[in-house]
Structure 1
């Protein structure tokens, strides 16, 4: 008769102790590799690895695999659910991150390098990034639920390890990417397509002077070009979307993300190793494992300042358990449980795609005071260190040139033993960019393209008061040609008196005023309604009439209304003419507009720079509602 394996193993108390020691060893090893503990790295890592090895052997000997696998299931399952939900909360944002990875110089360069395949590319997947984003989110949440309830563990454990190997590879790539190195890239340009043919001509011309560009082959139909390029390093893996930035204040560093995935991979391996002895939870086990998982999920929800994961996880886990318990021939199993959880995820994702993320972690979230978020960066702190190399051992020492230690060492005098090598700048406190970069958020318009709609805006009128400044009209004595310049630009070196005659004092265009910006206006205006569109070509026209209605009523009420877009001047003019639109329109960087809202269009209500409301086209309020609920005194 086959013996039923229990979580106790040969000795419940000893296996509990070994599990604690194993996790403690894992924690110490991870801490040892963190930059903050570099001084004690050897100590932490040595103790951690010894504890892990000893406790792992003891767990196998005392048949405690099931116990550590159960602990791992609770930890991994909880993290997968929360991590998947955070991505599912903003699937468009996650798809943007995937697009970064799919760029030719990003993840693809690593494949080119490792397998010697210069023609390899992932760019095809850019157009499918959103679909892949949704699939990854759903798979992550479904895996988390199944791991906790113990469903289909043979298949799930395989999928879990494969998923974690992929994520670990991704974060390893991110943490080790060096933008200074070069890789060989091979591109094929079609001579049939006019745009590609032009690019091919440019590359062939460049190859004549640039040794990094080589023409491999040329036919009547295509040109193959091999080029040395620098990688496009992704600095943020996107593991928790914008959640960590919006709640903790910063994202995980690439190295921290890598170690997070290494830890999860290690725990997944324990689950994989015990796959044959893990059975679906019985009622008693569910009453233990589910509450513990919910406590972990609640802790993570507290970290991310978002408690929806607790509600969703409870619904998803109980839905999975109920589906399994009904014992229906077709869906009363763990496949049915997975389908039910996937359906719940799908409903949630459809909702956020239609109405924007349920929890907005971005700097332009409702309630945020935008001016403050342009000043919350940190320039960082750096230390210049002198590096000396030992001529016998090759060991290196770093010294602060102004420190007492350096002066006492007199190492510069020990020329037979030490040699000065270089000076390095060591990061003491990392530089942190402000949440809103004023270079990225600066809605503006060239003066030459201003229409009557923009010119009626008080903020524009104030800036144009300085449009004309005092100037001089000069005449070339030889050619009789007249030249108008600003008075401040006049000097005898450029315009010698024997060549030029001053004819008159006039008003000229201010050369320093070529654009008008409304950023300051948006940050200080008592009331303003802004519609953002990242691309007018993709503007959802179903909501244009509602927006025009809000604009017309805002104008009557004396409340400024502006449209900020990521399109060019010609496209703006064509859009206004086609749709008979008469509102002030300004241009901003399209990437930043994606940050402001995933929707196109999105309506934002500001009061003195504070976001009072933000709405997608599918949830546009009426002007009367905006006035009574958001703009009333």
Structure 2
């Protein structure tokens, strides 16, 4: 009886967590693919060069992992083919545990993306979470023969339905933008304000005296103490945005970009840019009362090639590729700013017309 209770508890905890994690990622498969690219970049440098090949398939692998997480979670909750389910879950959790351990121990990828941008975990928190899952899945694996076998047509239909549903939602999120934006640059955010602390930053000081470390809320006036380190007591007061910066050869234009009516066309990568859709942006080069600028992480000659081919005559500036991909999951993408406030974001597939742009600024 006790064993049955434990197995059911672990089954519901593991299944529920996998479904929850997968559904959060369904919202933003592009974000998951960016995280996978980071891992593959690190592994290609630290382990073996062949990992570089996987970067080209990061988006497809992202969708596969997302669908797999949800489907295996559903299968476990339904007890549908439990031996197969638990075997696949064991492989998946060992893979995830390796990723989170590598991130934590070597401090390589500081955010595993386990729950997308909705819930941020430190690398060690992610690793400990995976260890707990390894234990629970390990128990289920050992006693998998004790789980009831469910092969009903209804359960099979639910499993197939969950797979198809996740796949469709993933493709919609890729084709458009995430259904829910959890990032710091979501619509309605004033970037200027988000770059400031939300309150006074408070620190505690780690000092050493007579070979012993002491933690103090205020820096001591006693000069016999030796400074060791300082820790932020209220990290929640840190700026929500700390990486936004715009520049070109003439200097820094971050502050200027956060003033007035701006239509930003963000291009994070020349190689991955959807060149076939650039024509969707042609009419946005000249919108009355709005300054259109291009912010890119590409080389100057690449962006000039694009502008010449499209016959665009607007200024261009540079920004960090990671920041641009964080701002919008589209390459290129359109962002409307009014005095630093994000009014609206558009995937290139759904680029606005002039009337829609003006309506947003006049609203």
What TM-score do you get using the length of structure 1 for normalisation?
A: 0.52
In structure 2, which of residues 174, 193, 207 is the aligned counterpart of residue 385 of structure 1? 207
Determine the structure 1 residue equivalent to 2:268: 534
Query: Aligned partners of 2:352, 2:114: CA distance in 1, in Å?
Result: 34
Alignment of 1:82-481 (within 5 A): 82-104=20-42, 106=43, 109=46, 122-177=51-106, 233-244=108-119, 251-280=120-149, 324-325=153-154, 334=156, 337-376=158-197, 381-386=203-208, 397-399=212-214, 424-425=228-229, 427=231, 429=233, 434-437=239-242, 440-447=243-250
1:385–1:400 CA contact under 8 A, matched in 2: yes
Task: Give the superposition deviation at 1:337.
Answer: 4.4
Q: Please say if 1:565 is aligned against 2:300.
A: no
Task: Give the superposition deviation at 1:402.
Answer: 11
Q: Which has the higher contact order (CA 8 A, sep 6+)?
A: 2
Task: Give the superposition deviation at 1:605.
Answer: 1.5
Task: Give the superposition deviation at 1:87.
Answer: 1.9
Task: Give the superposition deviation at 1:236.
Answer: 1.6
Alignment of 1:478-627 (within 5 A): 515=251, 517=253, 519-525=254-260, 527-552=261-286, 554=287, 557-627=288-358
Cα–Cα, structure 1 residues 627 and 337, in superposed 2: closer, same or farther, change >3 Å? Answer: same
Query: Aligned partners of 1:530, 1:578: CA distance in 2, in Å?
Result: 19
Task: Give the superposition deviation at 1:69.
Answer: 1.2
2:208–2:227 CA contact under 8 A, matched in 1: yes
Cα–Cα, structure 1 residues 160 and 444, in superposed 2: closer, same or farther, change >3 Å? Answer: same
Cα–Cα, structure 1 residues 586 and 401, in superposed 2: closer, same or farther, change >3 Å? Answer: closer
How many aligned residue pairs are there?
357
Task: Give the superposition deviation at 1:165.
Answer: 2.4
Query: Aligned partners of 1:256, 1:531: CA distance in 2, in Å?
Result: 37
Query: Aligned partners of 1:596, 1:400: CA distance in 2, in Å?
Result: 39
Q: Pick the structure with greater CA Rg.
A: 1
Q: Please say if 1:632 is aligned against 2:354.
A: no
Unmatched segments (≥5 aa) in structure 2: none
Query: Aligned partners of 2:3, 2:342: CA distance in 1, in Å?
Result: 53
Task: Give the superposition deviation at 1:83.
Answer: 0.5
Cα–Cα, structure 1 residues 591 and 265, in superposed 2: closer, same or farther, change >3 Å? Answer: same
Query: Aligned partners of 2:53, 2:201: CA distance in 1, in Å?
Result: 38
Q: Secondary structure at the match of 2:144?
A: coil
Query: Aligned partners of 1:401, 1:337: CA distance in 2, in Å?
Result: 57
**Deviations 1:188-224 (CA, angstroms, capped at 9, x unpaired):** xxxxxxxxxxxxxxxxxxxxxxxxxxxxxxxxxxxxx
Query: Aligned partners of 1:162, 1:616: CA distance in 2, in Å?
Result: 35
2:177–2:330 CA contact under 8 A, matched in 1: yes
Cα–Cα, structure 1 residues 572 and 76, in superposed 2: closer, same or farther, change >3 Å? Answer: same
Cα–Cα, structure 1 residues 83 and 446, in superposed 2: closer, same or farther, change >3 Å? Answer: same
2:285–2:312 CA contact under 8 A, matched in 1: no
C-alpha RMSD of the superposition: 3.0
Query: Aligned partners of 2:209, 2:165: CA distance in 1, in Å?
Result: 58
Task: Give the superposition deviation at 1:436.
Answer: 2.1
Q: Secondary structure at the match of 2:112?
A: coil
What TM-score do you get using the length of structure 2 for normalisation?
A: 0.87
Q: Secondary structure at the match of 2:146?
A: coil
Unmatched segments (≥5 aa) in structure 1: 1-8, 10-63, 113-118, 179-232, 245-250, 282-320, 326-332, 390-396, 413-419, 448-514
Cα–Cα, structure 1 residues 279 and 575, in superposed 2: closer, same or farther, change >3 Å? Answer: same
**Deviations 1:495-520 (CA, angstroms, capped at 9, x unpaired):** xxxxxxxxxxxxxxxxxxxx251x32
2:282–2:310 CA contact under 8 A, matched in 1: no
Cα–Cα, structure 1 residues 239 and 444, in superposed 2: closer, same or farther, change >3 Å? Answer: same
